[in-house]
Amino acid sequence: MLEGRSIICFAHDWNGDPTSKTHIMRILARRNRVLWVNSIGMRRPRASRADIGRMADKLRRSLQGSFEAEPNLFVASPLAIPLPGLPLADRANAAVLAAWIRRLCRRHDLRRPLLWSFLPTASGLLGRLQERLVVYHCVDEYSAFTDVPREALIRMERELVGRADIVIVSSQRLLDERRALNPNSHFVSHGVDVRHFSAALDPGTEVPEDLRSLKRPVIGFFGLVADWIDLPLLRSLALARPDWSLAIIGKANTDIDLLRGVANIHLIGHRPYAALPAYCKGIDVGVIPFVWNDLTIRANPLKLREYLAAGLPVVSTPLPEVRRYRRFVRLAYGLGPVIEQIEAALLDRSEAERRRRVDAMRVESWEARVEEISGLVQARMGAAA
């Protein structure tokens, strides 16, 4: 495990739900000092209420200064010109951010840091922070997200991949594409907090009332409801099986009017990470109803291992990284096959099967993944030295 190092991490906003980035940095902070820099944004804001609210929130958090969110893990929110991809704005942001981060490093005693970026937008900061090593940790095809400056992100990422000392990716497809630009690229899959999610099997865990009151069986999804979720499929599924309840747990950042007004679709909304095991206990089958596109075929859904660590049978779109778990997951695409596989999964809910899924996830803990990542980074540091 890495130990005694300073790390500057560029990632999403800390106050969001835990992601792979959160889990990895929390574990590294046990033995290292981490400065977590909240996202400087990958898309240009619009004159909408939501975007104006987000900008106001970023301004408020920036003015509050940095804070120690957890032992050895400091969080800071930068101010930046929200025009990613515009050369003049990118250069200005890089110069101002570099000076601001150097001051934070002095304040929090970070010396010769590892620059560890999960975002391509950090490319302009390379060489400005007295970094010992550059780690690019790619967990998504960022240029495939909606409303981002695609060509600019491709350019930024190519520069970051090419100049990074080591590239870590979370899917084989991402690896194949980035290794052509940097031979020091490595695939490390996501992990899971088995102890947290296996609480779904604890007799003392109570199913929340908003799920307990639903008609069984409950077909469940939790996570961000975005444009990579197949909403027409979910609507068709609910209409085709009115005796099933579909529970959608999560915040929506896309139009979900298609799901409204269907009696057996229950839009439960966002629930805290701490409550997810209890919700898993009230779900009969977990689904991953992703569309098939440039973003999802490179994705490695965190919820797959979280469902399995909660003992749930799973039906998923046959994404490449999900197919690795075909021993535990039923794969289907399209309404008919999805219904068929859910019906089969409903017969696969014995206590022994639930325990088998949980046990299979014990070797995929976040601690094990961070050990693997640390070994790769340490080896690269040794080679560089």
Number of structural domains in the chain: 2
pLDDT band at 43 (very low <50, low <70, confident <90, very high): low
Taking the CA of residue 112 as centre, how many other CA atoms within 13 Å lie in the half-sphere pointing to its CB? 5
56 found inside a domain = yes
3-state secondary structure of 197: helix
Whole-angstrom distance, CA of residue 12 vs CA of residue 20: 11
1 found inside a domain = no
> Does residue 134 share a domain with residue 102?
yes
> Does residue 35 share a domain with residue 153?
yes
pTM for this structure? 0.93
pLDDT at 63: 45
> Does residue 310 share a domain with residue 241?
yes
Residue 64, pLDDT above cutoff 80: no
Residue 199, domain CATH = 3.40.50.2000
286 found inside a domain = yes
Q: Compute φ and ψ for 127, nearest 5 degrees.
A: 85, 0
By mean pLDDT, which of 52-61, 77-86, 145-154 is the weakest?
Answer: 52-61
CA-closest candidate to residue 66, choices 32, 33, 38: 38
First-to-last alpha carbon distance for the chain, in angstroms, is 18
pLDDT band at 94 (very low <50, low <70, confident <90, very high): confident
> Does residue 229 share a domain with residue 125?
no
> Does residue 183 share a domain with residue 100?
yes
Q: What is the pLDDT of residues 138-153, one digit of tens each?
A: 999 999 999 898 999 9
Whole-angstrom distance, CA of residue 142 vs CA of residue 295: 8
> Does residue 15 share a domain with residue 119?
yes
Residue 91, pLDDT above cutoff 70: yes
> Does residue 84 share a domain with residue 207?
no
What is the average per-residue pLDDT within 233-238?
98
> Does residue 168 share a domain with residue 43?
yes
Residue 384, pLDDT above cutoff 90: no
Is the Cβ–Cβ distance between 131 and 115 less than 8 Å? yes
Residue 28, pLDDT above cutoff 50: yes
Burial of 180 (0-12, 13-18, 19+ CB in 10 A): exposed
CB atoms within 10 A of CB 131: 19
Is the Cβ–Cβ distance between 33 and 22 less than 8 Å? no
355 found inside a domain = yes
Is the Cβ–Cβ distance between 329 and 322 less than 8 Å? yes
> Does residue 332 share a domain with residue 224?
yes
> Does residue 336 share a domain with residue 375?
no
E runs forming strands in 241-380: 245-249, 265-269, 285-288, 314-316, 329-331
Sign for the CA dihedral angle at 214, 218, 219, 224 comes to: positive
60 found inside a domain = yes
Determine the structural domain holding residue 60 and report its residue range. 6-191+365-384
Q: Compute φ and ψ for 282, nearest 5 degrees.
A: -90, 0
> Does residue 222 share a domain with residue 156?
no
> Does residue 274 share a domain with residue 228?
yes
Residue 59, pLDDT above cutoff 50: no
Whole-angstrom distance, CA of residue 382 vs CA of residue 378: 6
pLDDT at 90: 78
DSSP secondary structure string for all residues of 76-106: E-----S-TT-HHHHHHHHHHHHHHHHHHHH
What is the average per-residue pLDDT within 6-11?
97
